[in-house]
Structure 1
Amino acid sequence: MELGEIGSVRATFENVPLHPTLNRAFIAEFVKQETDPAEQKLDLLALEKMLDDGADINCSHEHGQTALHQVALIHSAKVAEFLLAKGADANGVDALGCTPLHVAATANSVEVLRVLVHSGASVEARTTGELQTPLHHAAKRGATAAVKAMELHGADVHARDRQGRTPLHMAVLHGHSETAQLLLDLGADSSAEDDLGQSCLSLILLKMPPVAYKALGRFYHSDPIRRHQCFNLTCLEPKPNAEHTETYRTPLKLIVSNQLFDVIKHPLVKKFIDLKWNSYGYAATWFHLALDFVYISLWTVLCLSLPLRSPHIAPESSKASCDARHFSTTQPGRE
């Protein structure tokens, strides 16, 4: 089959050739619910009759989405159970490689999500281009309830897409602070770097400083009973690698340059600054003070050793004329 013929088939419906009209009518019932919420609820008896008459339950519209994809958008767990019982494919993909679980996660459709997972939908399914999981999609849209449900069903919070980004990257990049905090609570690694060397912690410092304090908490542990503290300081100044560009700035530089005073008060940052001062700052300060002392001393000796080129005492004649002018100006009434 030529590419043009494949495109024409995808442009209509991927259905059973013997029942194209039934397939169109079947999928149209679900599309109508998405485009016009005022429409009445789906008639399961009518849908069942269409299936009995030969409609393909896995037929799709021009974008490759099946009835199960559409059900995930309209948050109907009951209809999802009906379709799955009739043989709908829980892992069917659309033109972008999205499964119904991707759609449910994006739409924050928790009940449909649970039905799909219990019916065998893969929580680690990947899209075609970006290779993103349903958890990536939920984090990208700020679907907090879906993120929580996905993690409960075994989704990997450390999963990476084609560009090496984790769900936490997606939540921060799209400005969903609540979702980012939830992912941190679920154990997401804030030090994870994408393929460009950008860490989640750096993005959090740039885009949502209030969340940075929580993100740093992963690298600090305090045991007040044993009076023991653990610090993982490498997150603030990681070693440079090939992915880091010339414009790359470490988290510590971001904290200082953006004047994030609340973040500086974090025990981890304070400990790192103390170590920096003891290792470099203290000695460097005394070194510069010594250089300044030598510099001032040399200039003082140089100035004192140079002879005066001309006297700074005015001649007697000049002094007398100055006194006369001063006398005349102070007593204007006398000639």
Structure 2
Amino acid sequence: MTATVGIVGASGYGGAELLRLLDGHPALHAEVVAAHSQAGAPVAATFPNLAADRRFDAVELDRLRTLDLVFLSTPHGPSLELGAALHDAGVRTVDLSGAFRSSAEDFATWYGEPHPRPDLAPAVYGLPEFNRKQVVDATLVANPGCYVTTALLGLVPIAGLLQPGTVVVDGKSGTSGAGRAAKDALHATHVAGSVTAYGAPGHRHTGEIETALARYGADLGAISFTPHLLPIARGLLTTSYASLDDGVTAADVQDALVDAYRNEPFVHVLPAGTFPVVKSVTGSNGCQLSAVVDPRTGRVTVVSVTDNLGKGAAGQALQNANLMLGLEEATGLTAVGVYP
């Protein structure tokens, strides 16, 4: 039986990636492909890879209520309104924004505004590797941020080996992570041949990383996070540093990572000293990671890579949707990137 799904925000990069993935999904049909400002426009005019004869739909709540599941690939403002309405109507929803990832108190701190539905904050956090049972039973799932997903997959398994207050996360993302809006900082002549930091020290993903670590039983205190923009279209790399507890060895770190992901379809742990390459996961829902320990400083370095539109957004959203609809988790997804 085929389930009907909708995408709101289909004219953005995340929404378009969802549509691409759904085109090859054997059990889900994209019944609604909604884009408020581009309703009625041909999809292929914006995304030539999606060349089917299809036009963007208008955002109509009554129509969305008839679907089995809705993806919200919208900024947090529209997601707050639509996510709450769909939840109240009993429609399974995966939200790709930050609208429902944190508590109402944390949302106010990092977004500078009160949360209109504190009863839904936080929703079930959609990082299946650590809470797939909750995702299965959820009506509303908050898809983690791209930087956060990539950092957490490297940090959560070893969090119990780390000293609180010592975690530093350095993140680097392709320009698609900044969305389709025309911005001077994303101009091709400005990005090409350059790398720049932005958003420090108050990037919203800082609080999300701290909260998520605590959610999984590893309250490591305040972290430092700095994102950077890479001159590539898609792909994301995080390098995380932290001090190890006394007596923790490199073997302890490697064993913790291998044990955590031994049976996971999308996370691959590389041998210590073999660093992952962004290109290896491009176009996939995969994550590759590795860790090395510096015995001189007693610190660990964890390097993780994902596709910011894959495991960092649309791929993970589809992974969550599969679980919510009772499908095999990996249906329609792959951990194998497009290389070279």
TM-score, normalised by the number of residues in structure 1: 0.29
Structure with greater Cα Rg: 1
Select the structure that is richer in helix. Answer: 1
- Structure number with the bigger relative contact order (C-alpha 8 A, sep ≥ 6) is 2
Higher share in strand: 2
Q: How does the TM-score come out when normalised to structure 2?
A: 0.29
